[in-house]
Every structure is written in C-alpha cells, then in structure tokens.
Structure 1
Amino acid sequence: MISLQSSKVLGATIKDLIIPAERVAHVQVKNNLEHALLVLTKTGYTAVPVLDAKYKLHGLISITHIMDSILGLERIEFERLEHMVVEEAMNKELASLSISDTVEKGLELLVDHPFVCVLNDENIFEGILTRRTILDRLHTHFINNNKEQDLEI
C-alpha cells in the first residue's frame, strides 16, 4: 500500500517545488490592459500575478478580468484597453502561500487553483506553486513506492 504520510511528500516545505519569480510571467500594477492582454495571449496562460516594482504581490489578472472591464452595453470597447491599468481590473482576492508552508497546505489550495503565488516573510513574491509540480511530485513518489514494493516481493 502506498502511503502519503511520508514527510518526503506532504510534510516537506514548498520552497524546493516553486517556479522562481524570475521565471514567472507577470505584469505590473500600472501596466495598461493592452499590455496585460498581450502577455496573457503570448504566454498562453489563463492568469498571471500582478506585482509592483519591488516584487510585492497585488493580485492576479486574467483574460476574463480584462474582458469584463471592457465589456460595454452594446459592444466590447477595445479602445479602453490602452487607457485602463491592470490594478483597475485585477482580482485582489487570491490564495497565497508562505515560502515555509508545507506541500500539504499547497495541495489543499491547488484543488481550486491551477497555481498559487508564494510569498516570503516580507510579502515579496517568490514564485508560484503549480498543480503540475505537485502532481509530478506525487507521480514520482508513487512510481518509487511501486518499485520498492516490487523489490520486496
């Protein structure tokens, strides 16, 4: 029987599992929505973190947030893209993790989110924890446990 109680899997901190901030696509709070839409479209991501110049996390922006912001009564008002800034459309309510949180806490949050932003003790953006990373870690654990069980037989 495969156990997930192992501290190697769920008890470990997420520090070694995150994608570091330098490798995460993001936009800044004062970027216009046209820039944010371009970043989202070019990367293919559904949402990206919104940071300030000091890498403090302010929210998330998605294509849905952008489209909601430019949706008029009778048409989509694309001309508003260059005049509105990200902080006007972003989602400020978001789940986040501390760099010292456990994988188990990350797994709980990833049930409802494709990724979760990770912050240090000063609330500076450290990176993201993704579902893919957690699933890959669990998959590796299962494979290794199966090999160990096969050797015991």
Structure 2
Amino acid sequence: MIGKYIGRFLIQGEDPLMIKAEHCATVRTENTLMHAMLLLTSVGYTSIPVLNEASHLAGVVTMPGIVNGVLEDDNYNWDLLNQRKVRDVMQDNPPSVFDDAKLEDVLRLLIQSNYICVTDKKGLFKGIVARKQILIRLNRLAHEFEINYDVTPVHTSDHGAYELSSMTVNDLKAI
C-alpha cells in the first residue's frame, strides 16, 4: 500500500501522469509495417500502441517485431514493409490498466515496461503512463518531500542517519 502522503506527492507534477491518447504516437492495425517503422523512427521509440478502427487497444508494435515481420527463409524481404500490416506482427495483450486503476498497480507493471497503456472498461484507448513520468516524480520525491512534510521515523535502524545526496553508488552497497 502506498502511503497517503507519498501517493499524493507522486501524483502531483507539472506534467500529467497519464499522457492522453491525442498526444500519444499510435498506429492502426491496418497500417503497413513501413508506416509503423517510419513513425517509430521519427519519434525515437522502440514500441508504440496499436489501435483498431474503433480506437480500442489492440496491441503494441515494436521495431524488432517489424524487422522480424519481413524475414523470409533467413533473408529479409524489405518489399514486405509495404505489404504486411501491423496486425500481422503486433504483440497482443500489452501491459495495460483501466483508467480507474490504483497507482500501485501501475507502478508494478512499470517495473517490466517502459509504458503502460490505459483504457476504459470497454477497451477504448485513453493514453499511456510512461515510466519516465514516474521517475520524474520519484526524483522530485527524493529531493522535495521533506521540504513539504515533517517526517518522523517510526523505527530507528542500525544505520543511523545517512546524507544520501553526497554518497556514491559504491557507498550505497554498504547500506
């Protein structure tokens, strides 16, 4: 369970936690692999959500998936980029949550994924929560939480007080 003060602090931020659908790079199931590859290349991502004709989440497409999608008998047939569709190579069932999901559920999924797709209960794509947004907030938490809140430890440890801002990664191994 995420504490109420930590949770409140994490959801605050200059940028919204969820990037709305209209601001997300997406492709459609019927787009060609060439279209998907050009979009992925232009935005610099390695994967993007795939939507069907009704804007429901259908999957995700990755650059490796596209490249593997043109592989024929140990050779790449680049002509297939304009023939094959995204639906042919997309990964079904991407990590996703409903738009009323708890923050802790989103955090668990973001351990394994760079972003989590958000849908309504009918599957309509609402946007994504990117790991980057969480890391921005975690960085702010580490630097600003004690400025805004009085923190009193419930238990003391053998480690005493550490001034982590001056420690190196090697110092952290001993903690």
Q: What TM-score, normalized by structure 1, do the two folds share?
A: 0.86
Residue identity matched to 2:104: E
Kindly tell me: are residues 96 and 151 of structure 1, through their superposed partners in 2, closer, same or farther at Cα, counting changes over 3 Å? closer
Residue identity matched to 1:33: L
Deviation at 1:42, TM superposition (A): 0.7
Aligned match of 1:43: 43
Aligned match of 2:4: 7
1:57–1:125 CA contact under 8 A, matched in 2: yes
Runs of 4+ in 1 over 4 A off after TM superposition: 148-152
Aligned match of 2:162: none
Deviation at 1:125, TM superposition (A): 0.5
- What are the Cα deviations for residues 33-63 of structure 1, in whole angstroms up to 9, with x where unaligned? 1111111111110000000232100000011
Q: Is residue 18 of structure 1 aligned with residue 15 of structure 2?
A: no
The 5-angstrom pairing of residues 1-153 of structure 1 reads 5-10=2-7, 16-148=16-148
Residue identity matched to 2:62: S
Describe the SS at the equivalent of 1:22: helix
Residue identity matched to 1:76: Y
Residue identity matched to 2:4: S
Deviation at 1:68, TM superposition (A): 0.9
Describe the SS at the equivalent of 2:75: coil
Instruction: Give the root-mean-square deviation of aligned CA atoms.
Output: 2.3
Supply the distance in 2 between the matched residues of 1:65 and 1:102 (Cα, whole angstroms): 31
Supply the distance in 2 between the matched residues of 1:151 and 1:95 (Cα, whole angstroms): 35
2:70–2:81 CA contact under 8 A, matched in 1: yes
Describe the SS at the equivalent of 1:40: helix
Deviation at 1:150, TM superposition (A): 8.4
2:2–2:104 CA contact under 8 A, matched in 1: no
Describe the SS at the equivalent of 2:49: strand
Supply the distance in 1 between the matched residues of 2:53 and 2:63 (Cα, whole angstroms): 22
Supply the distance in 1 between the matched residues of 2:95 and 2:17 (Cα, whole angstroms): 17
Which structure has more helix as a fraction of its residues? 1
1:97–1:116 CA contact under 8 A, matched in 2: yes
Supply the distance in 2 between the matched residues of 1:7 and 1:46 (Cα, whole angstroms): 35
1:50–1:59 CA contact under 8 A, matched in 2: yes
Supply the distance in 2 between the matched residues of 1:131 and 1:102 (Cα, whole angstroms): 15
1:9–1:138 CA contact under 8 A, matched in 2: no
Supply the distance in 1 between the matched residues of 2:74 and 2:19 (Cα, whole angstroms): 41
